[in-house]
Structure formats: structure tokens, C-alpha cells
């Protein structure tokens, strides 16, 4: 399996190089040169497989023989052994045709664990094989950071630097990033919003001399391996609802477009998916884009679902590439427009192609709070604000003939203030995180300044020291 960049001028790479590269050298994102396909009979034969075995079957084609079978199987099994639910990503029914896919049974209570536990082990393996070290940089609006820190803490081959927007993540999210005692973990509070953090990280990737010196790798969903791992739970949930003999729809609380792009990938691989519904909070750039055909950034509004407070939705670039028939020039034009004027128009045929697969809706903060209350009252089930934005939108788009699966991307205990304000119940953290709020914090505070950030990383990165021979 080879991987190509959405911007067309970076070299094609194999799986191990894509895993370590993160962002392509032309600023684009890697996608598989072709989508692996599974027939109906092959999908039917996946029914009843345990989650790690299903993951092995679906992900093996993406690895393309670059990691031997036995090692890959061991890594996958170890990654999912960290989950505290036997099914890894179970579904629960919350309405006649409404199901919630619980993605929060991993170590940090967020869907990011599903991919990050695998990614860290894969990177460790490839780095050990090559006898190399890497510097990991990631931007987070709250959940990616905690999940990445948990997955990479204490790993000898990597130093990890996580940038989060100062004062704009929930207290639980912040502590999950700032209380690690591992020497290779470095949390950085940036004076800015998530888009600033993401810009800084992409800036470091696009500064090739720096990138090469510190051997920069990424853990955001710009890294193909993140998307790859997230494909599995679309299959597992659809299989348990009757796929491939029955189509299902998914509603996904969306920010950086990684999770819903994994659903699109599952569909391209043969999973019968009817509608893919994008749910946004008040930062509704994607819902506006689908309605108008213009992707137009506005200021970021702080909401009760902070992980979705974002304007520049990185993985939308992967969808643009597909919707334009894999024409990299169209993607380059769009990204130039975004950089120059904060907006771009999507051509009519590409927009139609997107609308054929996707639908979108928005949930305001008040509607999200109402939904938390309503789901608790009617189903006795407590959801977090990100999940609630999706339930609200899913209910507007529901079709009585097709099961609708709503992705529950975080445990409610990560956002106790918003949940309690909505419904009067304050969800408790699980026992293993019971003392999280009392643990001492350690983090740097930096302005949104590329040079200061690079200096900070250089000072602390072991890969940089090795490259400079000091
Ligand atoms: C809890 C939660 N829900 C939803 C999202 C949005 O997911 P994506 O960025 O993949 O669209 C995020 C952040 O990624 C998140 O942390
Ligand atoms: N919502 C995310 C933002 C980063 O997204 P990613 O999936 O690209 O890592 C977060 O919680 O950090």
C-alpha cells in the first residue's frame, strides 16, 4: 500500500514512513493510493469477531506488509487491552432507532484513545526497528492532548510536546495533560485558541530544516494512522446492527473532521452507510459550508463542548481531495484561498459529491443543554456536551427506516460543570482518575510565537540533541 499527498507534490510513501511523517512535506495530508475493498461476504464473515480481531482484519491492508503479521497482531491486542470494556466500543440503545456508540472506555475517557493507544505502540515499534528517536508535536482543543500523553508517557524513543489553548480546555482535560510525571512529556499552554495551536504545529512541519533536525512526528488526525484506527468502530457498530444486510447512518460530533472522515473511509471500503451527518456546535463552519458551498472562517466562540471549538478543520482537505476526483491542484487552490482570505468556494460538482454522502446540522449551547436533560429524563442515560450536539442533530435528520448511530466521543465526567448545569447531575470521575484534580501540575506557558516554540522544543528534545551531536 502506498500513500499520496492531497497536495500532489510530496513523495509517495509506504505505511511506516507515513506513520512517522504526520504531515506531508508539501503541507498536504496523506491518503491511501487506493481504498482497500471488502465484499459483502467478507464483511458478513466479520460478524462476531472480537474488536482487536476485527481491527486486524480491517487494518492489515493499510499496513501493506511493512510490519510482520505477528508483531502487528500483538500491538493491536495490547492497544485494546487498555480499554475497560470488553467490547472496547460498545453500543447502547437510546431511542426506537437511535444508538449511542460509546468511545470513551479508554484510559483518558475520550474517543482519541482508540487511535492513540495503537499509534504510540506502532511508532515505538518502527522507531526501535530503525534505532531512531522522534519528537512528537500535537495541538489539542482538549482531548487529543490527554490521550497522546497517556499513550506516549515514559516511552524512551519519543519526547512529546502538546500545545493546548491556555484557559480554554476543561479542568479535567487540562489536568490529564499537566499532571504526567513522565520525563518525556511536555505540556504547553499557548496564549491563543486551538486554531493557533494547530497553526504552530503545522508551521513546525513546514519548516523543513527544523522538522528534520528534531525528527518531528505528529499525533493529530493529520497523521493517517489516526484515521485508520478510527475506521474500525464504524464497522463494529454497523455489524452489530445487521451490516452488511442493513445500512446504518452515523452522526458525528465534528471539529477537525478526522472522525467523520474515518466513517467516509469505512464506506469506501464497502461498509453500507446511508447518511453521514456532521454535527457542529456554535462554531458551525462545516454546517455553513455544506449549506452554501463557501468555507468561510469566523472567530472561534467558546462553548460547553470545547473540543469542537475550531474553525480550520484539517481533515476537510482529505474530503476535498476525494470530492474533486483526487485533483491535487483544486486542493492547493482551496488552501491558498484559506490562507489568503480565510475562505474558499467549493466547485459545484465537488459540492454535489459531498452533499451526496454528507448532511450537517448545528446545536447551540442551549440546545445542547436541553438535549443532555432530555436524554437523561427519557432514557436515564447521561451524555457529555459533545455527544449531546450529535444527538440533537441526529434527531433532526432521523429516518425511521435506518438505524442512526450517534458517536459518543467523551465521558460526561470530563465536562462535569456543563453537564451539571444542564441536568443537575455531576458525573464522577472513575476511581483510577479519582485524585486527578489533586495531582500537582507542570506546564509551560508560551505566546503564540513560532520561534519561541521551536526554541522550547529544541531545548528539550533528545532527538534534536542527537542530530546536533551534543
Ligand atoms: C469529545 C470530542 N468530540 C468531538 C471531537 C471532534 O472530532 P474531530 O476533530 O475528529 O472532528 C473532538 C476532537 O477532536 C473531541 O475531543
Ligand atoms: N478536538 C481535538 C482537536 C484536535 O483534533 P485531532 O483529532 O486532529 O487530533 C482535541 O480534542 O484535541
Tell me whether residue 392 is one of the annotated catalytic residues.
Answer: no
Q: Is the bond into 69 cis (omega within 30 degrees of 0)?
A: no
- Say if residue 148's pLDDT is above 70: yes
Check pLDDT > 90 for residue 467: no
Give the DSSP letter of residue 269.
Answer: T
Q: Return the ligand 2 atom nearest residue 140 CA.
A: 12
Contact 114, 230 (CB under 8 A): yes
Average pLDDT over residues 425-429: 95
Q: Give the Å distance between the CA of 283 and the centre of ligand 1.
A: 13
Centroid of ligand 1 to alpha carbon of 464 (angstroms): 31
Q: Torsion angle, CA of 160/164/169/171, rounded to 10 degrees?
A: 50
**368 pocket-lining for ligand 1 (C-beta < 6 Å):** no
- Contacts of residue 363, defined as CB under 8 A and 6 or more positions apart, other chains included, come to 279, 280, 281, 371, 388, 389, 390, 392, 393
3-state DSSP percent of the chain in helix, strand and coil, to 5: 50, 15, 35
Matching residue, cell 442512526: 404
What is the distance between the alpha carbons of residues 267 and 235, in angstroms, rounded to a whole number?
9
Catalytic member of 37, 112, 378, 451: 112
Confidence of residue 70 (pLDDT cuts 50, 70, 90): very high
- Calculate mean pLDDT across residues 370-396: 97
Q: How far apart are CA 260 and CA 265, in angstroms?
A: 9
pLDDT tens, position by position, 287-310: 999 999 999 999 999 999 999 999
**Distance from C-alpha of 269 to C-alpha of 252, rounded to nearest angstrom:** 19
What is the pLDDT at residue 466? 86
DSSP-assigned states of every residue in 284-341: -HHHHHHHHSEEE--PPPP-SSGGG--S--TTHHHHHHHHTTT-HHHHHHHHHHHHHH
| Percentage of the residues of the chain whose pLDDT score is greater than 70 | 100
- Ligand 1 binding pocket includes 114 (Cβ within 6 Å): no
Give the confidence band of 415 by pLDDT, cuts at 50, 70, 90.
very high
Nearest ligand 1 atom, CA 386 = 3
> Is residue 129 very low, low, confident or very high in pLDDT (cuts 50, 70, 90)?
very high
Closest ligand 2 atom, CA of 112? 7
Pocket test for ligand 1, best of 231, 308, 360, 389 (most atoms within 8 A of CB): 308
Cα 433 to averaged position of ligand 2 atoms, centre (Å): 21
d(CA 151, CA 355): 36
Atom number, ligand 1, closest to the C-alpha of residue 254: 11
Q: What is the pLDDT of residue 194?
A: 94
Answer whether 256 contacts ligand 2 (Cβ < 6 A). Answer: yes
**Cβ(163) to ligand 1 under 6 A?**
no
Q: Is the CB of 230 under 6 A from ligand 2?
A: no
Q: How far is the CA of 439 from the centre of ligand 1 (A)?
A: 26
Q: Look up cell 452554501; give the residue.
A: 292
Sign of dihedral through CA atoms 406, 412, 415, 417? positive
Mutate to test the pocket of ligand 1, among 108, 148, 195, 259 (most ligand atoms within 8 A of CB): 259
Does 307 sit in the ligand 2 pocket, CB within 6 Å? yes
The band of 103, judged by pLDDT with boundaries at 50, 70 and 90, is very high
Is the pLDDT at 470 greater than 80? The verdict is: no
Q: Closest ligand 2 atom, CA of 255?
A: 1
pLDDT given at position 468: 77
Cell of 101: 456508540
Closest ligand to residue 116's CA: 2
Biggest alpha carbon distance in the chain?
Answer: 65
**pLDDT-derived band at 29, boundaries 50, 70, 90:** very high
Backbone angles phi, psi at 122, to 5 degrees: -65, -45
Average pLDDT, the chain: 97
Q: Pick the residue with more confidence: 465 or 409? A: 409
**Burial class of residue 299 in the structure, from the number of CB atoms within 10 Å of its CB (0-12 exposed, 13-18 middle, 19+ buried):** exposed
Which residue among 115, 140, 286 has the greatest number of ligand 2 atoms within 8 angstroms of its CB, and so is best to mutate? 140
Pairing mode of beta strands 98-102, 91-95: antiparallel
Give the closest residue to 308 by CA, choosing from 285, 280, 331, 328: 280
- Look at residues 49, 165, 214, 50 and name the one whose alpha carbon lies nearest to residue 443: 165
β-pair partners for 249: 404
**With bands split at pLDDT 50, 70 and 90, how would you rate the model's confidence at 62?**
very high
Do residues 159 and 188 lie in contact, with contact meaning Cβ atoms separated by under 8 Å?
no
| Cβ–Cβ under 8 Å, residues 422 and 368 | yes
Residues contacting residue 80 through CB under 8 Å, at least 6 positions apart: 51, 52, 55, 88, 117, 118
Are residues 71 and 122 in contact, defined by beta-carbon separation less than 8 angstroms? no
| Pairing relationship of beta strands 358-362 and 343-345 according to DSSP bridges | unpaired
Find out whether 309 and 321 touch, Cβ atoms under 8 Å: no
Which DSSP string do the residues of 125-194 spell out, in sequence order? HHHHHHT--EEEEEE-SSHHHHHHHHHHTT-TTEEEEEEEETT-S-HHHHHHHH----TTEEEEEEES-H
Residue 69 Cα, ligand 1 centroid: separation in angstroms?
31
pLDDT at 263 over 90: yes
Sheet of 98-102: strands edge to edge? Answer: 91-95, 98-102, 404-408, 248-253, 273-280, 358-362
Ligand 1 binding pocket mutation candidate from 105, 307, 319, 413 (most atoms within 8 A of CB): 307
Q: Whose CA is closest to 169, among 312, 372, 308, 362? A: 308
Geometric angle at alpha carbon 13, from 9 and 14, rounded to 5°: 165
**Residue 218: pLDDT over 90:** yes
Q: Assess whether the C-beta atom of 259 lies below 6 angstroms from ligand 1.
A: yes
Atom of ligand 1 nearest to the CA of 414: 1
For the cut 70, the answer to whether the pLDDT of residue 52 exceeds it is yes
User: Can you give the pLDDT at residue 409?
Assistant: 98
Whether 166 and 190 have beta carbons less than 8 Å apart is answered as yes
Report ipTM for this prediction. Answer: 0.99
CA of 138 relative to ligand 1 center, distance in Å: 14
Amino acid at each position: 500500500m502506498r500513500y499520496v499527498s492531497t497536495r500532489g507534490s510530496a513523495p509517495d510513501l509506504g505505511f511506516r514512513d507515513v506513520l512517522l511523517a504526520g504531515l506531508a512535506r508539501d503541507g498536504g495530508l496523506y491518503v491511501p493510493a487506493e481504498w482497500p475493498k471488502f465484499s459483502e461476504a467478507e464483511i458478513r464473515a466479520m460478524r462476531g469477531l472480537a474488536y482487536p480481531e476485527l481491527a486486524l482484519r480491517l487494518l492489515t491492508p493499510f499496513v501493506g506488509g511493512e510490519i510482520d503479521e505477528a508483531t502487528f497482531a500483538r500491538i493491536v491486542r495490547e492497544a485494546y487491552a487498555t480499554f475497560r470494556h470488553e467490547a472496547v466500543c460498545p453500543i447502547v440503545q437510546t431511542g426506537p432507532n437511535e444508538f449511542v456508540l460509546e468511545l470513551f472506555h479508554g484510559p483518558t475517557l475520550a474517543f482519541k484513545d482508540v487511535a492513540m493507544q495503537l499509534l504510540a505502540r506502532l511508532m515505538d515499534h518502527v522507531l526501535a526497528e530503525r534505532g531512531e528517536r522522534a519528537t512528537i508535536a500535537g495541538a489539542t482543543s482538549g482531548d487529543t492532548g490527554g490521550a497522546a500523553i497517556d499513550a506516549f508517557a515514559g516511552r524512551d524513543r519519543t519526547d512529546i510536546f502538546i500545545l493546548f489553548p491556555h484557559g480554554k480546555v476543561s479542568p479535567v482535560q487540562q489536568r490529564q495533560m499537566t499532571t504526567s510525571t513522565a520525563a518525556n512529556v511536555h505540556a504547553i499552554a499557548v496564549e491563543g485558541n486551538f486554531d493557533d495551536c494547530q497553526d504552530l504545529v503545522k508551521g513546525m512541519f513546514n519548516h523543513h530544516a527544523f522538522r528534520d533536525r528534531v525528527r518531528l512526528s505528529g499525533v493529530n488526525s493529520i497523521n493517517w494512522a489516526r484515521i485508520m484506527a478510527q475506521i474500525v468502530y464504524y464497522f463494529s457498530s454497523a455489524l452489530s446492527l445487521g451490516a452488511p444486510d442493513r445500512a446504518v447512518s452515523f452522526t458525528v460530533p465534528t471539529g477537525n473532521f478526522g472522525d467523520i472522515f474515518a466513517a467516509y473511509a469505512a464506506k469506501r471500503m464497502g461498509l453500507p452507510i446511508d447518511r453521514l451527518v456532521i454535527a457542529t456546535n456554535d462554531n458551525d463552519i462545516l454546517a455553513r459550508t455544506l449549506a452554501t458551498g463557501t468555507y468561510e472562517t469566523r472567530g472561534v466562540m467558546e462553548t460547553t463542548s470545547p473540543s469542537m471549538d475550531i474553525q480550520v478543520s484539517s481533515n476537510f482537505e482529505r474530503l476535498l481531495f476525494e470530492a474533486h476526483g483526487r485533483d491535487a491542484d483544486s486542493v492547493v487552490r482551496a488552501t491558498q484561498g484559506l490562507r489568503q482570505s480565510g475562505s474558499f468556494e467549493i466547485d459545484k460538482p465537488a459540492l454535489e459529491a459531498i452533499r451526496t454522502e454528507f448532511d450537517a446540522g448545528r446545536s447551540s449551547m442551549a440546545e445542547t443543554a436541553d438535549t443532555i436533560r432530555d436524554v437523561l429524563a427519557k432514557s436515564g442515560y447521561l451524555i457529555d456536551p459533545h455527544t449531546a450536539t450529535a444527538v440533537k442533530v441526529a434527531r433532526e435528520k432521523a429516518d425511521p427506516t435506518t438505524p442512526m448511530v450517534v458517536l459518543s466521543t467523551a465521558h460526561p465526567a470530563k465536562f462535569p460543570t456543563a453537564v451539571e448545569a444542564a441536568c443537575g447531575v455531576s458525573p464522577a470521575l472513575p476511581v483510577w482518575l479519582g485524585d486527578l484534580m489533586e495531582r500537582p501540575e507542570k506546564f509551560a506557558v508560551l505566546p503564540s510565537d513560532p520561534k519561541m516554540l521551536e526554541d522550547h522544543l529544541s531545548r528539550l528534545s533528545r532527538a534534536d540533541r542527537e542530530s546536533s551531536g551534543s
